[in-house]
Amino acid sequence: MSDMSANEDKRRRLLTGLGAVVAVAAVAYGLYWFLDARHYVSTDDAYVGGDIVAVTSQENGKVIKLRADNTQTVKRGDVLVELDPLRARVAMDAAEAELARTVRGVRAKFSRVEELRAQETSARIALTQARNDLARRQKASDTISQEELAHARDAVTRAEAAINVIQGGIAQALASVEGTRIADNPDVLAAIAHVRDASITLGHMQITAAVDGVIAQRGVQIGQMISTGTPLMAVVPVDGLWIDANFKEGQLGEMRIGQPVTVEADLYGDDVTYHGKVIGFSAGTGSAFALLPPQNASGNWIKIVQRVPVRIALDPKELREHPLRIGLSVHAEVDLRDRSGAVMGTSTHAREVATEVGAIEAATDQVIARILSENGA
């Protein structure tokens, strides 16, 4: 009996100790939940997102050189694809020749105006002489014949008519040059526009990277004939990636823009923690933007908890130290204690990509200035 009593006492003590441990654990968890855990929400339904900058051709042409391939890192402005430039160069040469010819033609028009004005001056002198001659003959009309007097009147008429013809020529010549210089004459400006158009086309024979990033989705091949708008490859700016975390609708009540977020990627596990912040909320649930959105007003209805995509920005420095890739799975946890932020996102500056237009314009300006100078503008 004593052994049985001892065993019962021992079992009772074990159960009492186990109950005490469970009670302490429950109290500890309750305190943890009340003081800390309830201020955080998390989800595993989160993935890395980012821009995919399409590389396309702005001109028709044949690919003669590829300078980039998938997985290769490129810098903004690096040449990725080269097209056959022969026809574009011919068009550029023709546009330059047209500009030179136009400048010379306009310069000749300015010279023609000066020539006609000189002729007008000479004609006015002749008219003055004819009038003076007529006046002398009219004073001596008693001593000269009527025929000689008629010839003097005809000379005045011819001189006046000559001036009228010259003035008409001046007006016609001024119509195309008055109020302008050679460099800003409409004909010259039209020729300059043709040069710029040809220069832009020639510049498009080299297709460059608009942003820093990694090449993906290369589909173009050497020798391929491509047309305007043909997708060639894509550049992914890996330094500007973000997280799209899909939180349940019940988790969003206290979530605000600007709240800090910790992110762990399956790629690195818990060895690497990223720090970011909430920058915006989707305008609708994921199902609302699906290809076939649900029709809850028809048939039998079963309530399904919806998820709303939340955009999370990451620290660029941490991204450079531990690069991520678009589509990777992550775990995101949001700290809800600071609720001073906005519920909806505000307008932000649009992201931009660099183009080669500035460099093309600078080179074209030099060509135009050279042609104008060589042809006397």
Mean pLDDT split into 10-residue runs, the chain, 377 residues: 64 75 72 62 93 92 94 92 95 94 83 77 81 76 71 79 80 70 83 92 92 92 92 92 93 91 93 93 84 74 86 92 93 90 69 61 84 79
Residue 179 is predicted with a pLDDT of 67
CATH number at 54-85+201-236: 2.40.50.100
Task: List residues bridging with 22 in a β-sheet.
Answer: none
- Sheet containing strand 53-56, edge to edge, reads 53-56, 231-236, 213-216, 73-74
Question: CA-CA distance, 41 to 52, in Å (whole number)?
Answer: 30
Q: Name residue, tokens 């000749």.
A: 108
Question: CA-CA distance, 130 to 272, in Å (whole number)?
Answer: 105
Report strand pairing: 73-74 vs 213-216: antiparallel
Please give the single-letter amino acid code of residue 141.
S
- Has this prediction a pTM greater than 0.85? no
Residue 209 is predicted with a pLDDT of 92
Question: CA-CA distance, 213 to 61, in Å (whole number)?
Answer: 25
Listed as own residue / partner, the contacts of 181-190 with beta carbons closer than 8 Å and 24 or more positions apart are 181/377, 182/103, 182/106, 182/107, 182/110, 182/372, 182/376, 182/377, 183/372, 183/377, 185/106, 187/102, 187/105, 187/106, 188/99, 188/102, 188/103, 188/106, 188/372, 188/377, 190/102
Query: Domain residue spans in the chain?
Result: 54-85+201-236, 87-182
**Tokens at residue 79, please?**
């040449």
Q: Helix, strand, or coil here: 235?
A: strand
Question: CA-CA distance, 233 to 218, in Å (whole number)?
Answer: 4
Helix 357-374 and helix 86-139, axial crossing angle in degrees, nearest 10: 40
Question: Given 3-state DSSP classes, what are the helix, strand and coil percentages for the chain, each rounded to the nearest 5?
Answer: 45, 20, 35
Give Cα 342 to chain centroid, integer Å. Answer: 30
Residue 242, CA distances (Å) to 85, 245, 316, 332 in order: 39, 10, 10, 12
> Of the candidates 56, 101, 99, which has an alpha carbon nearest to the alpha carbon of residue 230?
56
Residue 166 is predicted with a pLDDT of 77
- Phi, psi for 34 (deg, rounded to 5): -70, -40
**Tokens at residue 7, please?**
């065993």
Residue 79 is predicted with a pLDDT of 94
- Phi, psi for 73 (deg, rounded to 5): -85, 130
> Of the candidates 39, 367, 15, which has an alpha carbon nearest to the alpha carbon of residue 202?
367
